[in-house]
Structure 1
Amino acid sequence: MTRAFVLHTRPWRDTSLLVEWFTEDFGRLTTYQRGARTRGKKSPIRPMAFQCLQMMLVGRGDMKTATQIEPAGYAHILHGQSLAVGFYLNELLMRALHRHEPAPVLFNIYAQHLAELAGQAVDFGMVVRGFERDLLAELGVGIDWQLTADTQESIDPQAMYWLAPEEGILQQRGRGYPVAGNVLKAIAENQALGDAADRRQARDLLQSLLAPHVGSAPFHSRALWRSQPQPGEGE
């Protein structure tokens, strides 16, 4: 048995589904659920997005079938902007993670963020920034957000720095992406950013770091986000 979350489902042939999973023990994988869309048959897949499940994998080769699917935690009911952010996290996982590579630490981080999204007074920017930062680390391209790479000094929230993806945070001017020290501190320590310009800078920085790993195709979840009433968050 392994714990898992449904990332995405899509029809396959007449009555079946292909299901994209994020599992604790096997990472991202796809299963073939025969007859899951048969009329009158209760599917164990469709209503369970954003709920931790446990399941057994059967079959040979890369394409297996999930069986004995049971709840392993509360179902997180997400609406509006929380739903859009949840879908964004799912899209990130589907685009960035290689199949069949376990990521148990990231699995638990994802579960924690889903619980936050289901709560009250969610700071969506903090959720997204924290997950994007941790995803970069899982991909092996994370950086030290606390120290400069060239001088090994702690980040000063009042200073300006430059971030070069292959080097890290630099104190020397001219190389990399310019970014304010308070924005770097917020990313490192999961702090809120009150200024809209700072939030945009953090968003653009993290998206630029992720771009080589997630591709250039538009994210469907961003269209959903833009369709929701905006509280001035600017994320």
Structure 2
Amino acid sequence: MELSRAYVLHSRPWRETSLLVDWFTEDWGRVTTCQRGIRRSHKGAAGRPTPFSPLQIGLSGRGGMPVACPIEPASPAAGLAGCWLRGQALAVGFYLNELLLRAVQPQEPLPRLFAAYEEALLALCIRQEPFEVLLRRFERRLLDELGVGFDWQQTVDTGLAVHPEQTYRVHPEWGIAAETAQGMPVAGRVLCALAANQPQQHADDRRAAQALLQMLLAPLIGAAPFHSRRLWRSSAE
């Protein structure tokens, strides 16, 4: 049986003893499986797979929803072994999972996005960069891998490099422009920091970068609030 590296994105009860599990896999993209009997409490019942743990799974079953079987530990990427996300890092991890659940279509293989997700989990474990840098980088990678990204370093209308002292307009359909009234106005210094995966220097710039990425992602993820934001607020208190 073919196995694929996988992470749990979300699970929810189904009937009395089963779970519906959403996975992000390296070879098959996002898949949903029905794990029958997994919620039974008796000795010998299969354990419930948990988010952020590197696993490998196979898919079985004919017609209807597949079953993940087997579910086995996978060799973790360097730095992920024994890593547990806590506090705001846990909230960021759940936000990444919600992004994938909303933006990625089922059964669309995206191996480079899978690698970016694993890199983001590693960054959350080692905590060597601000959360804002990790989030904005992953959001841009998501746009790129879904075919709606653009060049963050030059304008589409003039072909000139983005300058930190100028203001530009950013539109989700064509990107960054210097000589148009359409799109969201964004300071060049914000765009330059995003392109270089650098932290924004001011609180207003951090808010502007977040608002920009949310605007670009909106056609993919919709307008419903993210549950992970409640966890972020509670962990910050």
Range class of TM-score, shorter chain: over 0.9
Shift of 1:25: 0.6
Question: Given the alignment, which residue of 141, 144, 149 partners 2:148?
Answer: 141
Whole-angstrom distance in 2 between the partners of 1:199 and 1:61? 47
Partner of 1:165: 172
Separation (CA, whole Å) in 2 of partners of 1:174 and 1:225 = 35
Structure 1 residue aligned with 2:115, among 79, 102, 108? 108
1:233 counterpart residue number: none
In structure 1, what residue type is equivalent to 2:8?
A: V
Aligned length: 229
Conserved? CA contact 1:5–1:50, under 8 Å? yes
Are the equivalent residues in 1 in contact too, given 2:39–2:48 (CA < 8 A)? no
Which whole-Å CA distance do the structure 2 matches of 1:75 and 1:96 have between them? 29
Please name the residue that 1:55 is paired with: 57
Where in structure 2 are there 5+ consecutive unaligned residues?
A: none
Alignment of 1:57-96 (within 5 A): 57-61=59-63, 63-72=65-74, 73=76, 74=81, 76-96=83-103
1:78 is paired with a residue whose SS is coil
Q: Is the 8 A contact 1:52 1:75 kept in 2?
A: no
Q: Is the 8 A contact 2:4 2:25 kept in 1?
A: yes
2:219 is aligned with 1:212: yes
Aligned AA (1:167):
W
SS of the aligned residue for 1:228 comes to helix
Aligned to 1:45: 48
Report if aligned partners of 1:51, 1:75 keep a CA contact under 8 Å in 2. no
Q: Deviations over 1:41-64 (max 9, x none)?
A: 443334x31011111111123511
SS in 2 for 1:98: coil
Q: 2:202 aligns with which of 183, 191, 195?
A: 195
Residues 163 and 176, structure 1, Cα contact 8 Å, conserved in 2: yes
Q: TM-score, normalised by structure 1?
A: 0.93
Q: Which residue is equivalent to 2:10?
A: 8
1:193 is displaced (CA, Å) by 1.2
One-letter amino acid of the structure 1 residue matched with residue 24 of structure 2 = F
The CA deviation at 1:24 is 0.6
Determine helix, strand or coil for the equivalent of 1:208: helix
Letter in 2 for 1:168: G
Is 2:21–2:34's contact at 8 Å kept on the other side of the alignment?
Answer: yes
Q: Distance in 2 between matches of 1:177 and 1:23?
A: 34
Partner of 2:33: 31
Alpha-carbon offset, residue 229 of structure 1 = 2.0
Q: Residue 97 of structure 1 aligns with which residue?
A: 104
Deviations 1:19-48 (A, max 9, x none): 0000111100101111100112443334x3
Residue 122 (structure 1) shift: 4.0
Give the Å deviation of 1:160: 1.1
Superposed structure 1 runs of 4+ greater than 2 Å apart: 40-46
With 124-133 and 57-66 compared, the bigger mean Cα shift is at: 57-66
Paired residue type of 1:186: A
Task: Tell me the percent identity.
Answer: 53
Relative to structure 1, the CA distance from residue 187 to residue 22 in structure 2 (aligned partners, 3 Å threshold; closer, same or farther) is: same
- Indicate how the Cα distance of structure 1 residues 174 and 99 shifts in structure 2: closer, same or farther if over 3 A, else same: same
Is the counterpart of residue 17 in structure 1 residue 19 in structure 2? yes
Q: Distance in 1 between matches of 2:128 and 2:228?
A: 20
Taking a change above 3 Å as real, the CA distance of residues 62 and 75 of structure 1, as seen in their structure-2 partners, is farther
